[in-house]
Amino acid sequence: MEEKMGGSNGEDSGEDQFPVGMRVLAVDDDPICLKILANLLCKCQYQVTTTNQAIIALKMLRGNKNRYDLVISDVNMPDMDGFKLLELVGLEMDLPVIMLSAHSDTKLVMKGITHGACDYLLKPVRIEELKNIWQHVVRRKKPDSKDELAAPNHDKSRGGTGEAGQTWVACSSDEKVNKKRKDQSEDEEEETEDNGHENEDSSSQKKPRVVWSVDLHRKFVAAVNQLGLGDQAVPKKILDLMNVEGLTRENVASHLQKYRLYLRRLSSVATQQANMVVALGSRGPSHLRTGSLDGFGDFCSFTGPRRFSSASLPSYQSRGTFGRLNSSAALTLSGISSGVIQPGNSVNGLGKIQPVVLPANQNQNGALFQGITASIELNQLSQTKSTNHFGEYNCVNERNVFRISSSFPDARVVVGSSSNSLSTASGNALVLQGNTQEVQWSAAFENLPSFGMTSLNRESNDLSVLGSSNCLEHGRCSENWQGTVQLSNFPPSNEQLPSNNLQESIPWRNSSPSNSRIALSSMASSAVLGDSRADMLCKAGLNNSYSHVDSRVSASGSMMDQNNAVSSNTNDVSLFSHLNGEAPFAVRHSEGDKSSSDTDLRSNDNFLFLQSKPQNGFSQNIFESLEDIMSPVFKLEQNNETAFMDGGFGFDVAHPLGSCM
């Protein structure tokens, strides 16, 4: 249930009414506490919105980034852990979050802090404590807004603001948007409009929030990679490298911090799962589609270190930062793939990948990862749009991939429209990306699959063979896939690469590893998916077969394709995020959860199941539609597998791919 209580703000035409009118979102499953809290907040003259479910809260937050200034959340909630919500909000929306609990246990407080909470209050809540919570909002805004926001004008003046608002909006838009977003999408509208609008009511200091679009993030990751994640990666240098105007050091610093946390999380996750099933899907779908940031959520979930933390991918997607998957999950995939791409060594790659991926994904396909999930290939495909991404993606991926993972067989990167890029030989995830655009993919995949697959086998890369090759060309893909599917060759669970995408139903010839086969076959069938989508789901089939965990992925993968979910756009790529256990991602296909079967990954359209092999985490990420890709965790861990799922296939083929070639 949610209710909104109007605060008294607004009327004051005073200039700086802050903290009056600050918009707070309160989440607590205990109705009594919630009611009291709401009432207290009203007394402090804040604008309160309440809900007793974390999920609803997230939806509301994602619905409009600038609607709230602060979030207060209970720790123990039945539908979602308070800390998890805290993380998500922090990553996606960068809003200050205050934890609330009846427990005063030090460990809990510490946990709250490590997850990024601004403050930790004990129940019963007292009004004096609430009177001061606005300081957290100011503190966050401070660095950025200083310049532009010349507070007085823009903010408050509500009514008349007209101009002030305008200017401010303009400024802030700049600021905020400055990230690429702005330029590219006018739909930053939110920002602009909101800004203006926000200014007014928002408590004056509303500093235009920097939105980390995909592009921006990509640059960021690129810069970080360049500098190396060690001590060299200082915000100042990163900022210089990125060379984005309007971005402040503080923005970079805070983003860097989050990124580091994310990586850390990934590595811990990755270790467990070798396969990163691109579960991204789980996250993906929701965000991808909506563009919401879910990605981040997933981001974190990244299982297995190597893998591209699909989670990261998710973040891409949803987050505006990534540029949102743009409508199509494609982006997500991209994000994922990027994430995936990274594999290989530490998750870092993921970060990289992501940025890459996301950019432009507007197309669904593209977004999806084209890189990542090879499946994403979707580029296909029908979507055509995606193809672009892939290219991009792949390129990016490649780069990232290579960069990052170095381990990757860089061959992988293949992608690039050159399609074969996959050869990344490194065996690591091949990011099939090469395919970029459907055809390319197919070509790439074709190539890849073979190599990737094989290579994968070697390493155990599960290469997600991203089925990417699958469908690629539609006809082509199937061919390749078969070869690739061979992945089955890969030893262990190889990542059964994503289902043959679509259409092509690329029959994965799983000849080799049983796993791969399985998937492949499924893929093949799935490949048929229709055009777009990456039927990658073959993977699903594959996955299932896989003994490895990833099968999940595959399952999802299959999902992914779901039939093409091709609709690519929205496929909820729920892909596999699970792949390895990642379950979380379970790509949910929004579209149709297709195969809901285990595969969480439903990769919507394009996902490739990147099945990450259990082995090292070869998570093949099945890219299910982009989203899944994200999670595809290509776990490459093992070898570096990082199978990228670049765009589409990101095969994580960590090694084998290389060898295959």
Partner 1 sequence: MDVVNQLQRQFIDYSASLHREGFLDDQFTQLQKLQDDNSPDFVVEVASLFFEDCEKLINNMARALEQQQGVDFKQVDASVHQLKGSSSSIGAMRVKDVCIAFRSFCEAQNRE
Q: Nearest 10 degrees: CA dihedral of 586, 575, 306, 370? A: -160
Instruction: Indicate whether 31 belongs to the interface with partner 1 (CB under 8 A).
Output: yes
Cβ distance to partner 1 smaller for residue 30 or 147: 30
Instruction: Report, in Å, the least distance between residue 432 CB and partner 1.
Output: 46
Tokens of 259: 């990124």
Instruction: Indicate whether 139 belongs to the interface with partner 1 (CB under 8 A).
Output: no
Instruction: Indicate whether 123 belongs to the interface with partner 1 (CB under 8 A).
Output: yes
Instruction: Indicate whether 125 belongs to the interface with partner 1 (CB under 8 A).
Output: yes
Cα–Cα dist 156/339, whole Å: 41
Instruction: Indicate whether 124 belongs to the interface with partner 1 (CB under 8 A).
Output: yes
Instruction: Indicate whether 111 belongs to the interface with partner 1 (CB under 8 A).
Output: no
Instruction: Report, in Å, the least distance between residue 28 CB and partner 1.
Output: 9
Beta-carbon-side half-sphere exposure of residue 654 (alpha carbons within 13 Å): 49
One DSSP character per residue, 20-78 reads TT-EEEEE-S-HHHHHHHHHHHHHTT-EEEEES-HHHHHHHHHH-GGG-SEEEEES--S
Instruction: Indicate whether 256 belongs to the interface with partner 1 (CB under 8 A).
Output: no
Instruction: Report, in Å, the least distance between residue 33 CB and partner 1.
Output: 5
* Nearest-5° Cα angle at 442, 290 to 657: 95
Cβ distance to partner 1 smaller for residue 32 or 231: 32
- C-alpha torsion sign, points 105, 81, 351, 616: positive
The binder of partner 1 chosen from 2, 10, 16, 35 (CB under 8 A): 35
Cβ distance to partner 1 smaller for residue 36 or 170: 36
Cβ distance to partner 1 smaller for residue 40 or 466: 40
The binder of partner 1 chosen from 4, 10, 16, 36 (CB under 8 A): 36
653 in helix, strand or coil?
Answer: strand
Cβ distance to partner 1 smaller for residue 11 or 186: 11
Cα–Cα dist 366/357, whole Å: 8
Instruction: Indicate whether 32 belongs to the interface with partner 1 (CB under 8 A).
Output: yes
Per the CB < 8 A criterion, the answer to whether 480 and 449 are in contact is: yes
Instruction: Indicate whether 80 belongs to the interface with partner 1 (CB under 8 A).
Output: no
Instruction: Report, in Å, the least distance between residue 103 CB and partner 1.
Output: 7
Stretch that binds partner 1, among 34-42, 191-199, 409-417, 544-552 (CB under 8 A): 34-42
Instruction: Report, in Å, the least distance between residue 126 CB and partner 1.
Output: 7
Cα–Cα dist 653/661, whole Å: 11
Instruction: Report, in Å, the least distance between residue 35 CB and partner 1.
Output: 6
Instruction: Report, in Å, the least distance between residue 32 CB and partner 1.
Output: 5
Per the CB < 8 A criterion, the answer to whether 353 and 373 are in contact is: no
Instruction: Indicate whether 30 belongs to the interface with partner 1 (CB under 8 A).
Output: yes
Q: What is the Cα 422 distance to its own chain's centre? A: 22
Instruction: Indicate whether 131 belongs to the interface with partner 1 (CB under 8 A).
Output: no
Binding mask 40-69 for partner 1 (x = CB under 8 A): x-xx--------------------------
One DSSP character per residue, 326-374 reads -SSHHHHHHHHHHHHHSTTSSTHHHHHHHHHHSTTTTSHHHHBTTBTTG
Please tell me what DSSP assigns to residue 462. Answer: -
Cβ distance to partner 1 smaller for residue 4 or 146: 4
Per the CB < 8 A criterion, the answer to whether 336 and 359 are in contact is: no
Helix or strand run (H / E) with residue 514: helix 514-527
Cβ distance to partner 1 smaller for residue 124 or 159: 124
Stretch that binds partner 1, among 121-129, 319-327, 515-523, 583-591 (CB under 8 A): 121-129
Stretch that binds partner 1, among 124-132, 148-156, 224-232, 382-390 (CB under 8 A): 124-132
Cβ distance to partner 1 smaller for residue 43 or 139: 43
Tokens of 263: 């990586």
Cβ distance to partner 1 smaller for residue 34 or 223: 34
Q: Taking phi first (over 0 means left), then psi (-120 to 50 degrees means alpha), and beta for anything else, what does residue 269 get?
A: alpha
Instruction: Indicate whether 113 belongs to the interface with partner 1 (CB under 8 A).
Output: no
Instruction: Report, in Å, the least distance between residue 36 CB and partner 1.
Output: 5
Instruction: Indicate whether 126 belongs to the interface with partner 1 (CB under 8 A).
Output: yes
3-state helix vs strand vs coil in the chain, percent to 5:
50, 5, 40
The binder of partner 1 chosen from 79, 114, 127, 228 (CB under 8 A): 127
Cβ distance to partner 1 smaller for residue 105 or 186: 105
Cβ distance to partner 1 smaller for residue 42 or 80: 42
Residue found by looking up tokens 């005073």 in the block: 14
Amino acid at 521: S
Taking Cα atoms as reference points, which of 483, 470, 466, 492 lies closest to residue 653? 466
- Which residues are 613's β-sheet partners? 618
Instruction: Report, in Å, the least distance between residue 24 CB and partner 1.
Output: 16
Per the CB < 8 A criterion, the answer to whether 634 and 655 are in contact is: no
Helix or strand run (H / E) with residue 99: strand 97-101
Taking Cα atoms as reference points, which of 501, 507, 485, 475 lies closest to residue 657? 485
The binder of partner 1 chosen from 3, 11, 79, 102 (CB under 8 A): 102
| 388-417 positions binding partner 1, by CB under 8 A | none
Cα–Cα dist 49/217, whole Å: 31
Instruction: Indicate whether 105 belongs to the interface with partner 1 (CB under 8 A).
Output: no
Instruction: Report, in Å, the least distance between residue 25 CB and partner 1.
Output: 19
The binder of partner 1 chosen from 33, 331, 443, 559 (CB under 8 A): 33
Instruction: Report, in Å, the least distance between residue 83 CB and partner 1.
Output: 16
Cβ distance to partner 1 smaller for residue 123 or 260: 123
Name the packing angle between helices 294-301 and 329-341 (round to 10°): 30
Tokens of 39: 């009432």
Per the CB < 8 A criterion, the answer to whether 537 and 499 are in contact is: yes
How many positions of this chain bind partner 1 (CB under 8 A)? 19
Q: How far is CA 52 from CA 46, 56, 148, in A?
A: 19, 8, 36
Stretch that binds partner 1, among 35-43, 168-176, 378-386, 635-643 (CB under 8 A): 35-43
The binder of partner 1 chosen from 3, 11, 39, 110 (CB under 8 A): 39
Cβ distance to partner 1 smaller for residue 94 or 119: 119
Binding site for partner 1 (CB under 8 A): 30-33, 35-36, 39-40, 42-43, 76, 101-103, 123-127
